[in-house]
Amino acid sequence: MASSAQLKALLHAHVSGDIERFRSVALQVAAHEAKIGHVKLAEELRDLVKKAKSQQQVVSISKGQRDSSGLLNISSPSTKLSDLILDEESRSQLDRIIKEVSHINELRSHGLNARRKILLVGPPGTGKTYTAAALSGELGYPLFEVRLDSVITKFMGETSLKLRQIFDSIESVRGVYFFDEFDALGADRASGNDVGEARRVLNSLLTMIEQDNSASLIICATNYSELLDRALFRRFDDVINYHLPSAQNIENLLARRLKPYAPARLNWKARAAKAEGLSAADVKVIADDVVKEVLLSKATKFKTEWLDRAIKERQQVTRSQRKSR
């Protein structure tokens, strides 16, 4: 039994919010119990202190309160998968992920793993980031975006330590964890221009992914499929490929946003054909431009030439962007 002095010290530490002191007194109590032969109780007490410590670390990471914790951005998006326009294969892959993750315990009880380590590959503006938000929205899990700029430092040891911290959070706080442009970890800047070392940092992330046994969803995204080797793909339960939208999907994207403002008998197909080669994000910009023009000119419908102009402008912007790359 804890002495009255220890009890008082515990209460005092609790009231003053001194967690370190609380922990240290609790460990003293455990040590005292061990000494008088209450080994099991001592063990239980130590376990409780350990558990409280790891949870507290996670909370401080989660809330981004401390500098050491600026590793994750947290949000609770209400985005839904139905907002995404994708090809059928990607859509059914995403549906399957949601189904499996929602039944993770049932699957585990039969010795099966839910698909929850996912790689998204595809060009800019095709919906990868949006997908991470939609999976979080659909599952009702918080979205933790890993801030790679904070993770990556010149020192490989430090970077690996920060990754370890993130994986502790993945383990103890169930959520959707999103590593956007995760291949940046393998780039030169990750470790003072030493390519070999950068590669090791990326490999240490991949090993952590492989060893993870949590109930969280881990999503990595990249634009560069050609840089990724087979060994890398193997670490994921599923790889989803994103593409520029087909003419039909461009038409769907345009119509969904513009239908209420469209003039009668608009040839949607012809407009969609003009926008081919653009990303879904570009098509969104086009539709937004047209809606803005409708609102600001106090019109109820747009003119066909407004839409054509917006498409042409966007095509020019992307062409000059591609050239400058």
Q: Using CB under 5 A as the criterion, which residues of the chain lie in contact with Mg ion when the complex forms?
A: 128-129
Q: 93 or 223, CB closer to Mg ion?
A: 223
User: Could you list the residues that contact ligand ATP (CB under 6 A)?
Assistant: 84-86, 124-130, 223, 242, 280-281, 284
Q: What, of Mg ion, ligand ATP, none, does residue 57 touch, CB below 5 to 8 Å by kind?
A: none
CB of 199 to ligand ATP, least distance (A): 22
Least distance between ligand ATP and beta carbon 248 (Å): 13
Q: How many CA atoms, within 13 angstroms, populate the side-chain half-sphere of residue 60?
A: 11
CB 198 within 8 A of CB 166: no
| Residue 288 C-beta: closest distance to ligand ATP, Å | 9
DSSP code at position 275: T
CB of 60 to ligand ATP, least distance (A): 28
Q: List C-alpha distances in Å: 242 to 84, 207, 247, 310.
A: 12, 25, 15, 24
Q: Which of Mg ion, ligand ATP, none sits in contact with 69, Cβ below 5 to 8 A by type?
A: none
- In order, the DSSP letters of 139-154 are HTPPEEEE-HHHH--S
d(CA 87, CA 109): 33
Nearer to ligand ATP, 46 or 243 (CB): 243
Is residue 174 a contact partner of residue 216, using CB atoms and an 8 Å limit? yes
- Whichever of 36 and 227 has its CB closer to ligand ATP, that residue is 227
Torsional sign, CA 52, 144, 199, 214: positive
Nearer to Mg ion, 128 or 271 (CB): 128
At closest approach, how far in Å is the CB of 224 from Mg ion? 13
